[in-house]
Amino acid sequence: MNLTVLSLEQATTVPFLTYRLVQDGARVIRVEDPRRGDPNRFVGSKALDGEEGMRTYFLPNNLGKEAITLNLGCEEGRALLCELIARLPVDIFACNQRPRSYARLGIDYETLRQVKPDLIWVGTTGFGPESDEAAYDPILQARSGLMALTGDPDGDPMIFGLPMVDLGAAEHAYGQVMKALYRRAVTGEGTRIDISMFRSALAWMVTPIMLTHSFGEVIGRRGNTHQFFAPASVYSTSDGFVYLAVGNDRQWETLTRLPGWEHLAQERYARNAGRIADVAALNQAIAELTQTMTTEQALATFRGAGVPVGKINAIPDVVEDPYVRPHLIRATDPRTGKEVCTAPPVVDTGFLRERNNRLAFPPRQGEHNARVYTEIGVGAATLEELVARGVI
């Protein structure tokens, strides 16, 4: 992917979007304020010889990127931004600033499209460009109804274990960028893309919203069970846990033919509706059986019967999975020699295959100032002067 992305990014959503583009081979240059930098740089442990600004929480979404500093609060900084977009040149500009900041920072679509008419502009906000309301992932999980569906029926609403609204908005933005690139290839025109994190979260709520609003059905927290299928839940084994998911009546019939399971071949359980109606008792009966098996025995038994099952893995187990370990993305810090690895890409891109799934280590703040600004004609003496005056 022969594309250049300039990204005024922080937190998670836009960094994850641009990291996805890195995996496709795009050149991503992240822009940070020289006075503060991305707040995520200072979150997590100091894993690199106690170095500030490179704490662990910052690293995963920033492999393979370049980093420059630029003060968009001053006129010279805004002029340099336009120079970067015009002369690098930049194909995609991404930001996740609040809308009221667009014009003040000179990053609004109308300003930047005057510099490069075929620019693809991506703005990610909590509630869309018409709102300046601040939002974080858990706030949006709460407001979108996701938390109302997560947790035990008699317990408190719970947040998901990952920032799914952040990550989901990034994936939705990625899809829109691909569409905009196709449009540009066909028409030569740029595109403005506004991503609302709230609308992104709501996009997953098609079933709960329809069933509730249109049919009056009550959709609530189900713990580890499924609203519409049974048995589908977490079951303890003698040395761990598995998730067993019976998706149809034929799979259930197969399950009840297993040695020791025959007593569950009852008429009331023959159809999914009957199993749903008595799910608590059914789950207890299944748990009594799985507790007599090791996890490996349970996996072998259910897979052999053609019933979907999975071990509840801890993260170290996930890394050792044979479908995971060969595809991990790795990077080595040239300063400390520390190697890090992170999750495999969605697909094995040609770009990553050519590099044996290795990317450049996440950049220090302003690490690539000299390289990038030199590309647009800023000399060494001018660069030093801009640094001294706080422009970069």
113 vs 99: CA distance, rounded Å: 17
Phi and psi torsions of 193, nearest 5°: -120, 120
Helices assigned H by DSSP within the chain: 13-23, 75-87, 102-105, 109-115, 137-143, 164-187, 197-202, 206-215, 249-255, 272-277, 279-290, 295-304, 315-320, 350-354, 369-375, 380-388
Q: Beta strand pairing status for 4-8 and 241-245?
A: unpaired
372 vs 376: CA distance, rounded Å: 7
Of the chain, the end-to-end C-alpha distance in Å amounts to: 28
Residue partners of 54: CB distance under 8 A and separation at least 6: 41, 46, 47, 48, 362, 364
Residue that has been written with the tokens 């950049």 in this structure: 363
Enter the tokens of residue 225.
């069970």
Active-site choice (108, 137, 166, 333): 166
33 is catalytic: no
Q: Which residues of 217-243 are buried (b: 16+ CB within 10 A; e: fewer)?
A: eebebbeebebebbbbbbbbbeeebbe
Q: Tell me if 149 sits within 8 A of 221, measured CB to CB.
A: yes
Catalytically active residues are: 166
